[in-house]
Chains A and B, each alone.
Chain A
């Protein structure tokens, strides 16, 4: 009884009560489904009928499936364009909003963050109208400037995937502007003041002081952007269904269609889709390790 009343025991109980719900939720909604996915990846299963264990067959199929390599190429194009563009624009805008005292700063913050409060479907519909080949806003603008304006942006293999890049950048910039602004506001002003006394230009201030001190935040931002670009497929699902000619089919969309019968067949391939899910997991872990290597581990301090 004395032990039950002891401070150590009470502390242990309190910690357990505080941690248990979150941990239980993590196990139930994250760890358990992921463990099940590993199991499903070794099955031939349509999600309803009998589960048939087929060993490594799904993994072998992974390396023979031409749709996988095509989808990964599309993801790679988005990775090398969306991420640097988003980071660059976010950093510049954040720097301007923090270091320049515009009267309408608050308005700009709301404006940039606005896409984050819209639903995915609304964003997809907005951009579908922008890119529409008949009455789209983009074609209208091009016509005003005499630059053609009759192109079907989402209907052409050469432009469909590239058309997704402005959409993704537009969606992501606002969130990272807010993140970087908060990080920049944490940089001591004294560093800038002493640099200014030494005659530093604005560009040097940005590249020699701001960016290095933000490297930790930029690293985290990069990782989250990689996750979003690899896992995201909603816009392609709504706007192009992976077309034309599969030119906007990314790996998550392919996995989704296999699992939920998006191939207009009424057939489901849960087992193979889970295998692709495992591949995405390994890919994301690998990319995270690459990012860690690229960014210095030590935080910079002058």
Chain B
């Protein structure tokens, strides 16, 4: 009996020890096989060959196997373009393999891995909407050098000279470097069914604010909601957040852009911003922006447009690809930017921004980072950009993309509609770049006040001035603190 108890006790202790060992960090594994199982974590390796190293033209070794772990955002652009880019790259550089984790929520996965502090487990390159925190913690690799490299399809020319202006702006560098590598840009605005507009004789390209309001009234008289948007994610920003620049131009406020970029003076309570919000409130009050928007996500709001229960929806140019499975066969996406002045010759500001980007984790082997930069450079070749444009519906970031005329013919119908709109109207692509990064908690709090109340203003349920003032107090505190801190550094 005693012997039995002793053996049982030993067995139990052994179980506990094994349990503890299993719960500890996994031993490092080396491997070069690529796979696309979500969550797979084949660690990146760089095995040092004992033989002489044979290099590619780019100076990187041919014989050293490298696996790049990629955290890919599955956005409205899909992932066909990325898989194509990986295929091209691995055909050219067979020693490089990819371990891809793709998810619409990749940002959450990345921040969890970053917080866990296990650099082995972290992606080599990834999409994330967090970057200043990573930079401040010295976790990101600068990507500035990539802009000095030459894409394979433009030898002798630096990427910096080929990229669309505004997407590599040294004035916007944080701590003297670029940290987020741009892949694609988007156009935001108001999207609708051209066929519905044609059938009802509605104005597809209003030139003035009054014309836009008349359009809304005409739609409303037909019993259709003129505008519906994703209130849960504040998608109205895609159509309306550049309107402050139009109002500033109408007011002949030449100082506005500088004040905006450097957070000088009132921001939320500037006359321009208050005017924009007042007009949005009026539109909501008149029922032009559907109250149903408040609790809606982007899919629900866009479905209402597909079903003709609403006429227009603010979003980005990915909408065509995103909704392609649900859209009726005869649905034709159209685009307009909302004019906010009554000057028919005045520029209409279009929301423009970065729709896809990558960051590189700093605590990775040097060889992995070099290959990551090489891969990111390859994403900027016109061949990959073409795949992203034609299959994903994005806008290219290469200035010379349309030098080949057939590329314009192969763009998606919505891209052509946007291009037509830009040709027929005087437009300004507005990036809303700021030159100062705010990190004080009151900045987050001020944005929270705006985001919390935006939907209620847009649907005419709350006046904007009170919450704009609350948000301004918080913002000014953040600006004062951050400007002092940055001057001290």
Residues of chain A at the chain B interface (Cβ within 8 Å): 5, 10, 13-14, 17, 20-21, 24, 46-50, 61, 65, 67, 128, 131, 133-134, 152, 154-157, 160, 239-246, 249, 260-261, 263-269, 272
B377-404 contacts to A, CB under 8 A, are: none
Residues of chain B at the chain A interface (Cβ within 8 Å): 2, 5, 9, 12-13, 16, 19, 107-108, 111, 114-115, 117, 128-134, 136-137, 139, 231-232, 234, 291-296, 304, 309, 439, 441, 443-445, 447-448, 451-453, 455-456, 459, 461-462
Q: Is B139 touching A152 in the complex (CB atoms < 8 A)?
A: no
Name B292's contact: one of A20, A133, A160 (CB within 8 Å). A133
Please measure, in the bound complex, the distance between the C-alpha atom of A264 and the C-alpha atom of B449, giving whole angstroms.
12
Main secondary structure of the interface of B (DSSP, over half): helix
User: Which residues of chain B have C-beta atoms less than 8 A from A155's C-beta?
Assistant: 231, 291-296, 455, 459
With contact pairs A155-B294, A268-B133 given, residues A243 and B114 touching in the complex (Cβ less than 8 Å): no
30 contacts between A and B (CB under 8 A): A21-B16, A21-B19, A24-B16, A46-B133, A48-B117, A133-B291, A133-B295, A134-B292, A134-B309, A152-B291, A156-B461, A157-B461, A243-B231, A243-B232, A243-B294, A245-B453, A246-B452, A260-B108, A261-B111, A264-B447, A264-B451, A265-B444, A265-B447, A266-B130, A266-B131, A266-B132, A266-B133, A267-B132, A268-B133, A269-B444
User: Which residues of chain A have C-beta atoms less than 8 A from B137's C-beta?
Assistant: 46, 48-50
Q: Is B129 touching A243 in the complex (CB atoms < 8 A)?
A: no
Please measure, in the bound complex, the distance between the C-alpha atom of A134 and the C-alpha atom of B443, giving whole angstroms.
36
Minimum CB–CB distance for B99 against chain A, Å: 23
User: Which residues of chain A have C-beta atoms less than 8 A from B133's C-beta?
Assistant: 46-49, 266-268
Q: Is A268 touching B111 in the complex (CB atoms < 8 A)?
A: yes
The residue on A at minimum CB distance from B293 is A155
Q: Is B2 touching A244 in the complex (CB atoms < 8 A)?
A: no
Main secondary structure of the interface of A (DSSP, over half): loop
Minimum CB–CB distance for B207 against chain A, Å: 32
Name B2's contact: one of A5, A152, A154, A261 (CB within 8 Å). A5
User: Which residues of chain A have C-beta atoms less than 8 A from B231's C-beta?
Assistant: 155, 243-244
Please measure, in the bound complex, the distance between the C-alpha atom of A155 and the C-alpha atom of B461, giving whole angstroms.
11
The residue on B at minimum CB distance from A70 is B452
User: Which residues of chain B have C-beta atoms less than 8 A from A242's C-beta?
Assistant: 452
The residue on A at minimum CB distance from B19 is A21
Q: Is A13 touching B9 in the complex (CB atoms < 8 A)?
A: yes
Name B441's contact: one of A21, A133, A272 (CB within 8 Å). A272
User: Which residues of chain A have C-beta atoms less than 8 A from B292's C-beta?
Assistant: 133-134, 152, 155
Q: Is B139 touching A48 in the complex (CB atoms < 8 A)?
A: yes
User: Which residues of chain A have C-beta atoms less than 8 A from B294's C-beta?
Assistant: 152, 154-156, 243-244
Sample of 6 more A-B contacts, CB < 8 Å, known A17-B13, A245-B453, A265-B444? A21-B16, A46-B133, A48-B134, A128-B295, A242-B452, A266-B133
Q: Is B448 touching A263 in the complex (CB atoms < 8 A)?
A: yes
User: Which residues of chain B have C-beta atoms less than 8 A from A24's C-beta?
Assistant: 16
Quick one: which of A17, A128, A160 has the most chain B CB within 10 A?
A17
User: Which residues of chain B have C-beta atoms less than 8 A from A241's C-beta?
Assistant: 232
Quick one: which of A24, A155, A160 has the most chain B CB within 10 A?
A155
Q: Is B295 touching A48 in the complex (CB atoms < 8 A)?
A: no
Please measure, in the bound complex, the distance between the C-alpha atom of A20 and the C-alpha atom of B117, giving whole angstroms.
29
Please measure, in the bound complex, the distance between the C-alpha atom of A258 and the C-alpha atom of B83, giving whole angstroms.
35
Please measure, in the bound complex, the distance between the C-alpha atom of A263 and the C-alpha atom of B452, giving whole angstroms.
10
User: Which residues of chain B have C-beta atoms less than 8 A from A156's C-beta?
Assistant: 291, 294, 461
Minimum CB–CB distance for A111 against chain B, Å: 29
The residue on B at minimum CB distance from A260 is B111
Q: Is B444 touching A152 in the complex (CB atoms < 8 A)?
A: no
Name B455's contact: one of A10, A244, A260, A261 (CB within 8 Å). A244
Name A267's contact: one of B115, B130, B295 (CB within 8 Å). B130
Please measure, in the bound complex, the distance between the C-alpha atom of A296 and the C-alpha atom of B386, giving whole angstroms.
74
Minimum CB–CB distance for B477 against chain A, Å: 11
User: Which residues of chain A have C-beta atoms less than 8 A from B453's C-beta?
Assistant: 245-246
User: Which residues of chain A have C-beta atoms less than 8 A from B13's C-beta?
Assistant: 17
User: Which residues of chain B have C-beta atoms less than 8 A from A131's C-beta?
Assistant: 295
Quick one: which of A13, A49, A249 has the most chain B CB within 10 A?
A49
The residue on B at minimum CB distance from A65 is B445
Minimum CB–CB distance for A78 against chain B, Å: 18
